[in-house]
Amino acid sequence: MSIIRVIAAGAALASIALAADIAAGDARRGEELFETEQCIRCHSVKGRGAGVAPDLSRRIDREFTPTAMASLMWNHAPDMWAGMKQKGIVKAELSQESAADLFAYFVAARYFEKPGDAGRGKLAFDEKHCSSCHGVTRSPNALAPPVAEWESLADPVVLAQQMWNHGPAMRAAFAKLKLAWGDLTAQDLTDILVYLQNLPETKALAHNFLFPPSDAGPALFQSKGCAACHVGKLGIEARLRNQTLTDIAVDMWNHQPAMKSSPTELSQEEMRQITGYIWARQYFRGDGNAERGKKVFAEKSCATCHNDPVAGAPKLGQGTAKGAYSDIAMLSVLWEHGPRMMESMGERKLAWPRFTTQQMADVIAYLNSL
């Protein structure tokens, strides 16, 4: 798996080069960084932390994406730096790898998952015939584990693994009951999970899970036969932009009836590695428009410094690999070089640039076109 490494150029925006064989973000390291770099002195996750700034596990936006996070952090960076200075917090360095670790941690905290509704979930659990086999503490089908025993309720990766492995048996059960295979939407599954997670019998389950680096993901994607089909128009890079882990679990569920043969079973660790790999791939496949990004780049006065050799900022496109910019890269660049950028812009009496989510995506597309 390739990831982008930021090369410091000692100026407002660093040059970025694509480096191979660097692991994707590790949620465990990200959680440590969230504490050691003192993010927790302002933000909280699931109620743990100062709570002065928003709780990062309780976003209510239905379309909150990694690009939205990058634009939000960019827009609020001056206020964050001012707040850190007031609290005496020294701004830590944030390498490309560290930024990826933090993003992985936000995935583990379900920061990108869409909100669900327990009422809708209860209806969907019945309408999709889940309750025909699965009960809460005792199941109608003796071979179907009751909901109270589902460890997958606390871990969406395990959920994907169990849905994948038990698909053939569930198809047989559907056929026996003369029921059509029920496709799910991501909202269906999210609602069902919210309903099941809030039952009295399941509330005690811890809702934390590991999201490790996908070191073995690419090899497993090949050896398990996924790569044989997912090429060209079916390639995952073109199909998973801004997909959450719940989205991926649903895609794998809906995909099973169309498969020519029964799917290869996956262990929890194999599913974890593959899911981490395919989720991380979305960072390298943006949905921005380079032409619009070029206009935004000019409108936000970026070109004032980066196309002016006197300004000392590197001319963008020099020393970079094509396609090297991503949401993670923009976050790392902002954190490493933002204060110097702000100082330079202040001297030139330029306003700090703020971006909508789409503008951020377009600027990334433009930078990748250089």
**168 or 261: which carries more pLDDT confidence?**
168
Give yes or no for residue 227 having a pLDDT over 80.
Answer: yes
Q: What is the mean pLDDT of the chain?
A: 77
Lowest mean pLDDT across 33-42, 158-167, 337-346: 33-42
Question: Which residues have CB under 8 Å from 260's CB, separation 6+?
Answer: none
46 Rama sector, left if φ>0, alpha if ψ -120 to 50, beta otherwise:
left
Whether the predicted pLDDT of 224 surpasses 70: yes
pLDDT of residue 345: 85
Question: Around 327, how many Cα atoms within 13 Å sit in the side-chain half-sphere?
Answer: 30
85: which 2 tokens? 């200075």
Q: What pLDDT was estimated at residue 18? A: 30
pLDDT for the residue numbered 17: 29
pLDDT at 279 over 60: yes
- Range name among 112-126, 232-246, 309-323 with the lowest pLDDT average: 309-323
The distance between the two most distant Cα atoms of the chain, rounded to a whole number of Å, is 75
Instruction: Indicate if the pLDDT at residue 19 is higher than 70.
Output: no
- For residue 309, pLDDT beyond 80: no
Greater pLDDT, 361 or 153: 361
What's the pLDDT at 340? 85
Judge whether residue 2 has pLDDT over 50: no
Provide the pLDDT for residue 22: 35
Per-residue pLDDT at 6 = 23
DSSP-based three-state secondary structure for 338: helix
Beta-carbon neighbour count of residue 204 at 10 Å? 8
Q: Cα-flanking dihedrals φ and ψ of residue 127, to 5°?
A: -65, -30
H-run or E-run covering 32: helix 27-36
| In the predicted structure, residue 118 carries a pLDDT above the cut 60 | yes
Q: Which of 58-62, 135-139, 249-253, 311-315 has the lowest mean pLDDT?
A: 58-62
The pLDDT assigned to 293 comes to 94
Find out whether 336 and 93 touch, Cβ atoms under 8 Å.
yes
pLDDT interval class at 124 (50, 70, 90)? very high
With bands split at pLDDT 50, 70 and 90, how would you rate the model's confidence at 319?
Answer: low
Burial degree of 21 (CB within 10 A; 0-12, 13-18, 19+): exposed
Q: Where are the alpha helices (DSSP H) in 166-261?
A: 167-176, 186-197, 217-223, 226-229, 245-255
- The DSSP element (H or E) to which 202 belongs, if any, is none
What's residue 241's pLDDT? 67
Compute the Cα dihedral for 94, 100, 101, 106 and give only its sign.
positive
Please give the residue that has the higher pLDDT: either 309 or 69. 69
What's the confidence (pLDDT) of residue 213? Answer: 60
- Structure-block tokens of residue 297: 């780049």
CA proximity to 221, closest of 273, 184, 260: 273
Bigger pLDDT: 205 vs 157? 157
Q: Which residues contact 281 (CB under 8 A, 6 or more apart)?
A: 236, 237, 240
- pLDDT grade, residue 1 (50/70/90)? very low
Mean pLDDT throughout 156-176? Answer: 83
pLDDT band at 356 (very low <50, low <70, confident <90, very high): very high
Please tell me the predicted confidence (pLDDT) of residue 4.
25
- Residue 355 pLDDT: 93
| pLDDT reported for residue 226 | 85
What string of DSSP letters covers 111-152?
A: TTSPP--HHHHHHHHHHTTGGGT--SSS-SSTTSPPGGG-GG
Residue scoring higher pLDDT (308 or 318): 308
11-25, 115-129, 241-255, 285-299, range with the lowest pLDDT: 11-25
Q: Determine contact, residues 313/12, Cβ cutoff 8 Å.
A: yes
Predicted TM-score of the model (pTM): 0.68
Indicate whether 169 pLDDT > 90: no
